[in-house]
Amino acid sequence: MSIIVDAGGLSCPQPVLMTLNKIKEIKKGKIIIKVDSNTSKENVSRAAQSQGWDIDIQEQETGYQLTIKKE
Amino acid sequence: MKKNYFSTRWGIIGTGCLIGVFAALLQKMGNPANMGICVACFERDIAGAIGIHRASVVQYMRPEIVGFVIGSLIAACIFKEFRSRTGSSPIVRFVLGVFAMIGALIFLGCPWRALLRLAGGDGNAVVGLSGLVFGIWVATLFLKKGYNLGRAQETHSAAGWIMPLIMLGFLVLMFIFPQIQGQGKSVILFYSIKGPGAMHAPLIISLIIGIVIGIIAQQSRFCTMGAFRDLILFKQMHLLSGIIALAVSAFIVNLILDQFHPGFANQPVAHNLYLWNFSGMALSGLAFALAGGCPGRQLFLTGEGDGDAAVFVLGMIAGAAFSHNFGLASSPKGIGHYGAAAVIIGIIVCLAIGFTMRKK
């Protein structure tokens, strides 16, 4: 089962904080992050990439789903 | 998916440069010295213009503030980022706005003006900025412990238009009741005839510059509080590079225009009480960080439909009224009679918010 971080409705820095906490917890693997604004999408992408995680972004009706991976 | 070039490293640096250059030019064109653009001071002037405080030297409907919101609204509509949302503890945000303003008016400036004061040679700005960083650092401790004002909800599109419409309404009032030379009141709007409120660039220029900054800052997510918060919390330099660009570009333009006067004493619209410059900005920094954005960022957020940011802005305007009506605000002569008490109460209230509003 995928690990899902639901940051919908939360403003910065919460989505980044939640993502980085999860990254710290699992160290590698796959995390799905749900955000609802472009700002959060950009912030989470920047943070995940700075930690060396690959990122894939899908646009959804209510925002974006970011899938980040690290082998 | 479209790439947002404004949110890249060069985008944020460009935004900072633009704000720095425009702020220094606005001073040349009439805005108060070292106050080309100060979000807190200008919202305080707006509070004065509508008469909710009667400090006669700081009353003017600043078009830059209106422009910020309208510019952000334009960008949000063009780039399809307008999203009406609200419901993330609005009353808490109102209170944070009130104390953010009270703290800013003890120091005499928001983080934008702290940078511009620095760029103009005012050494007290270093003390203020240190206070700001300290306040933000305290807030990051709460953030790490789970401080969170809760999720916002999508709401009716019209709800997100309320703040932009309020600002447009202010602008319309200014056209209907324009300044009358030498008079402190134009039917319903107040206009300072002396003091910082009487110093302003031509209306249209201020408005256009405000709109341009609003458009670019909405897209680049420029935030002076976020700059320090992200550095402390995530070791990220992204937003910080924007505010460094602001200070450096304003400094260069100030040098060219002979607006750079280094020193601590007798700086324009400033006092040199170190303790209160530090603690006023610490209170502001704490309140801004707990609310998730500097005063400029909060204005840009209102333009993209964020009702919670709108409540914070209204809190700041109310805070300006409290500051001047209760004798809290500083002047170049020093802090207001009850200014010290207000800072202490503000810090206690913000700490209480930080301690009690967390999700496990």
Domains of chain A: 3-70 (3.30.110.40)
In a domain, B34, yes or no: yes
Using omega within 30 degrees of 0 as the cis cutoff, is the peptide bond preceding A13 cis? yes
Which residues numbered 144-163 in B keep a CB inside 8 Å of some CB on A? 144, 148, 151-154
Rg of chain A over Cα atoms, rounded to whole angstroms, equals 11
In a domain, B2, yes or no: no
> Hey, are the CB atoms on B233 and A38 less than 8 Å from each other?
no
0.90 exceeded by pTM: yes
> Hey, are the CB atoms on A37 and B83 less than 8 Å from each other?
yes
Is the Cβ of B183 closer than 8 Å to some Cβ of chain A?
no
Distance (Å, whole) CA B12 – CA B237: 11
CB-CB: which of B1, B88, B234 is closest to A47? B234
> Hey, are the CB atoms on A13 and B143 less than 8 Å from each other?
yes
In a domain, B1, yes or no: no
In chain B, the number of structural domains is: 1
Taking residue B145's Cβ as centre, other Cβ atoms within 10 Å add up to 13
CB-CB: which of B85, B152, B226 is closest to A12? B226
Is the Cβ of A20 closer than 8 Å to some Cβ of chain B?
yes
In 3D, which of B262, B241, B312 has the Cα closest to residue B20? B241
Chain B residue numbers touching A61 (CB-CB < 8 A): none
In a domain, B3, yes or no: no
**According to the model, what pLDDT value does residue B302 have?**
98
Task: Provide DSSP, B124-178.
Answer: HHHHHHHHHHHHHHHHHHHHHTTB-----EE--HHHHTHHHHHHHHHHHHHHHS-
Closest approach of chain B CAs to the CA of A60, in angstroms? 12
Identify the closest residue of chain A to B218 by CA–CA distance.
A39
What the block records as the tokens of B53 is: 């405080």
Task: Provide DSSP, B10-42.
Answer: HHHHHHHHHHHHHHHHHHHTTSPTT-SS-HHHH
Rg of chain B over Cα atoms, rounded to whole angstroms, equals 19
**According to the model, what pLDDT value does residue B182 have?**
95
Cβ proximity of B35 and B27 under 8 Å:
yes
In a domain, B143, yes or no: yes
Q: What is the pLDDT of residues B147-193, one digit of tens each?
A: 999 999 999 999 999 999 999 999 999 999 999 999 999 999 999 99
CB-CB: which of A16, A42, A62 is closest to B4? A42
**According to the model, what pLDDT value does residue B1 have?**
61
Closest approach of chain B CAs to the CA of A15, in angstroms? 11
CB-CB: which of A14, A46, A57 is closest to B148? A14
CB-CB: which of B1, B88, B154 is closest to A57? B1
> Hey, are the CB atoms on B152 and A9 less than 8 Å from each other?
yes
Q: What is the pLDDT of residues A19-42, one digit of tens each?
A: 999 999 999 999 999 999 999 999
The whole domain housing B36 covers 8-356
**According to the model, what pLDDT value does residue A62 have?**
85
Buried (b) or exposed (e) across B320-358, using 16+ Cβ within 10 A?
bbbbbebebbbbeeebbeebbebbeebbebbeebbeebe
Identify the closest residue of chain B to A42 by CA–CA distance.
B7
Is the Cβ of B360 closer than 8 Å to some Cβ of chain A?
no
Question: φ and ψ at B38, to 5 degrees?
Answer: -125, 115
**According to the model, what pLDDT value does residue B360 have?**
64
Is the Cβ of A69 closer than 8 Å to some Cβ of chain B?
no
The residues facing B128 across adjacent strands are: none
Distance (Å, whole) CA B283 – CA B128: 11
What the block records as the tokens of A40 is: 């959060």
State which H helix or E strand residue A32 sits in.
strand A29-35
Closest approach of chain A CAs to the CA of B25, in angstroms? 30
Distance (Å, whole) CA B82 – CA B303: 8
**According to the model, what pLDDT value does residue B3 have?**
80
Eight-class DSSP state of B358: B
Residues of chain B with pLDDT under 70: 1-2, 360
> Hey, are the CB atoms on A12 and B292 less than 8 Å from each other?
yes
> Hey, are the CB atoms on A38 and B81 less than 8 Å from each other?
yes
Chain B residue numbers touching A39 (CB-CB < 8 A): 221
> Hey, are the CB atoms on B152 and A11 less than 8 Å from each other?
yes
Chain A residue numbers touching B93 (CB-CB < 8 A): none
In a domain, B103, yes or no: yes
